[in-house]
Chain A
Amino acid sequence: DAGVIQSPRHEVTEMGQEVTLRCKPISGHDYLFWYRQTMMRGLELLIYFNNNVPIDDSGMPEDRFSAKMPNASFSTLKIQPSEPRDSAVYFCASSPYTWGGTDTQYFGPGTRLTVL
């Protein structure tokens, strides 16, 4: 299995530009998670999906952030407009369904976003 795939691996953009991060989860996994990692705030859950439906988006910082999962094999996280404080590493993770809820999460390699 190829694991969770994220693209791009690195993104440098200027303040005000739109940024789209992409994720392909492991085939057959029912849950997909988006995290953000910064030195100051650590690893934060932004949003997660179950069977392509957003379950909890309480971690999404503000309206500039949006996430979609149009099908079981693809998800996007969009920031519009981007700001320097959005600079971080963004991880996507997926998890299979198990009795009682999700279990092990499998992480992608992350996208390092720099907003100038």
Chain B
Amino acid sequence: AQSVTQLGSHVSVSEGALVLLRCNYSSSVPPYLFWYVQYPNQGLQLLLKYTTGATLVKGINGFEAEFKKSETSFHLTKPSAHMSDAAEYFCAVSEGAGGTSYGKLTFGQGTILTVHP
């Protein structure tokens, strides 16, 4: 069974500081990995995804994430935080082709990002 662990339910940074949100996963087959963002009272929106190919993935709003198979990690980063980045972020894993239940996303518990002026 696949699972996702997000380290830190709350992360607080100053505007302009580095954002680092941590995600570790477990999967029995090569995974597809996703980061979604949820703004208050809204649905989830895809930030970026890794399926195959380049392990450094760039997404919207200046975010990027690196797939590290040896560390089973997919941490999300942004060099300089902006006030508008304040939201809840979810890491998710899906079994890729070859998995017994591919297409099914398993989400982490979420990390709330607060950005201070």
Contact = CB atoms under 8 A, between A and B. Distances in A.
A and B pair up:
yes
A14 interface: no
Interface in A25-63: 31, 33, 42-43, 45, 48, 50, 55-56
B104 A42 contact: no
Contacts of B63: none
Contacts of A17: none
Nearest to A6: B43
Interface of A: 4, 31, 33, 42-43, 45, 48, 50, 55-56, 91, 93, 95, 99-110
A107 B44 contact: yes
Interface of B: 32, 34, 36, 41-46, 49, 51, 90, 94-97, 99, 101-110
Contacts of B36: 107
A57 to B, nearest CB: 11
Given A91-B43, A107-B43, A50 B105 contact: no
Contacts of B34: 104
Given A50-B103, A56-B104, A43 B90 contact: yes
A40 B84 CA distance: 26
A102 B103 contact: yes
A92 to B, nearest CB: 9
A107 B107 contact: no
A4 B43 contact: yes
A102 B44 contact: no
A103 B109 contact: no
